[in-house]
Amino acid sequence: MTTMTRARWALDLALAALLAVLGLVEVWLPLESVMGEGSAVVSTVGIVAFAALMTQRRARPWLALASLLVWPVLGIAQGGQMQVLFFGQLVPVMVLVYSLARHGQGRLRWVAPLAGILFVSTADLYIPLLQEPSELIFHWAGVILSFLTGHSLRLAEDRAVREAVRAQEARVSARQRAMVAVAEERARIARELHDIVAHSVGMIVVQAGAAEQVVEEDPEFARRALGTIRTTGSSALAEMRRLVGMLRAPDAEVDFAPQPGIAALPDLVASSGESGLEVSLTTRGEGRRLPRGVELTAYRVVQEALTNVRLHSAATRAEVVVDVGGDALEVQIRDEGPALPSEEPPGHGLVGMRERVALYGGTVTSEPTESGFTVRAVLPLEQV
């Protein structure tokens, strides 16, 4: 038995015991609510039997419903001579109707109030003391209110459960979409790094072949070719280290053409202008040779950020700043906003940016400004 089951069982026992105590106090004190002539012993038997069956109100609700037969059976056995009780009879019936409306399953939820109404109606018809209009209204109102209270709480609980399930499904779905987006972005990064490494190795082969041809006639040219081979090889090895561990789709087509870098940003900015977004580009520290993977990452960050501006912002202007410092390459994209309202779930553009930049040990921050949005990426530069 689980802790929750034990707690519910203890609560049901406590409630049944409370009903029994209230009924016994009413009979044996006695209270003014006791009406009619009858045996206190018989009333005690009925109170205890009803309370015993009430312990099953959640575990075996159909058995609890059978408690409504206790008083009719005892009344027939006594020839109709019974005490009429408020705490010993009517209150337990109201608690039973509430409990079955609150916790019953299927048809039982609707059988309970009908059975409760049938119980009080039978009592009102055959017991003269209960045939006053005030008594009839009180009995019916008590049973109906008990049912409505239990039924309303049941509906509220069901609604809360559905909302919780939907929220959990939404969280799981979002997590799955994020995982898929990360996997797809990593595969794309792996393909692009493969192309960079392949291009670098191709340059090494060409330079090595040229140096081999002129090593005796032009040693200076051969020395410069070897320097280029060393630089290109170091860069290719660095990219290869990052490539290891990346899952690359086996059926992906390979394009050995050089991937875009910082030099391609003016074309990217111009294409954004054609779509109605005016973009200004500022580049600082030009002329320094950068790893191709770093340049590609910077290009993709700018590309994705401008795409987000076009899709999710009402801005007509954006600013791109690329700063090549001594130890890091910083890229900042800022728009004037404001954000467009959207009911669609957020995409995974920022996830892709972070994956790319993290591959080179960098960071990406994205935050709203007073009127728009700013994306800032910092890529450390290795000192060769």
Q: Which of 77, 109, 131 marks a domain boundary? A: 131
Confidence of residue 274 (pLDDT cuts 50, 70, 90): low
- Which residue would you say has higher pLDDT here, 85 or 287? 85
- Domain count along the chain: 2
289 in a structural domain: yes
Domain boundary among 131, 159, 180: 131
The per-residue pLDDT for 253 is: 45
119 and 144 in contact (C-beta within 8 Å)? no
Q: Which of 109, 100, 28, 118 is nearest to 61 (CA)?
A: 100
- Residue-level pLDDT at 81: 80
Which of the pair, 60 or 244, is modelled with greater confidence? Answer: 60
**CA separation (Å) from 132 to 32, 83, 129, 299, 304?**
18, 17, 7, 88, 80
**Cα dist from 208 to 74, 112, 201, 224, whole Å:** 109, 92, 10, 11
- Show the domain range for 365: 262-380
Instruction: Evaluate whether residue 198 is within a structural domain.
Output: no
User: Over 80: is that where the pLDDT of 324 sits?
Assistant: yes
Q: Is the residue at 271 inside a domain?
A: yes
Q: 138-156 burial, b if ≥16 CB within 10 A, otherwise e?
A: ebeebbeebbeebbeeeee
Report the distance separating Cα 97 and Cα 57, nearest Å.
10
Reported as a single tens digit per residue, the pLDDT across 30-73 is 888 888 888 899 999 999 999 999 999 888 888 889 999 998 88
pLDDT score for 27: 92
Task: Report if residue 253 sits inside a domain.
Answer: no
299 occurs within a structural domain: yes
Sign of CA dihedral 112, 116, 117, 119: positive
The verdict on residue 345 lying in a domain is: yes
Confidence at residue 55, expressed as pLDDT on a 0 to 100 scale = 92
Q: CA nearest 196: which of 251, 146, 260, 112?
A: 260
Distance between CA 382 and CA 384 in Å, rounded? 6
Select the more confidently predicted residue: 240 or 80: 80
- 148-178, pLDDT tens digit by residue? 998 899 889 889 988 988 888 888 888 887 7
Share of the chain above pLDDT 70, in %: 77
- Residue 338: asked if its preceding bond is cis (omega within 30°), the reply is yes
Average pLDDT, whole number, for the chain?
Answer: 79
Please state whether the predicted TM-score (pTM) of the whole model is above 0.85: no
Is residue 164 situated within a structural domain?
no
CATH number at residue 376: 3.30.565.10
Average pLDDT over residues 118-134: 79
The pLDDT confidence band at residue 251, using thresholds 50, 70 and 90, is very low
Asked if the model's pLDDT at residue 215 lies above 70, the reply is no
> In the chain, what is the greatest distance between 2 CA atoms, to the nearest angstrom?
133
Q: Which of 77, 107, 131 is the last residue of a domain?
A: 131
CB burial class (10 A; 0-12, 13-18, 19+) of residue 377?
A: buried
CA distance 241 to 180: 24
Q: Can you count the helices (H) and strands (E) in the chain?
A: 11, 5
CB of 373 closer than 8 Å to CB of 337: yes
Does 159 map to a domain? no
248-262, 275-289, 290-304, 323-337: least confident range? 248-262
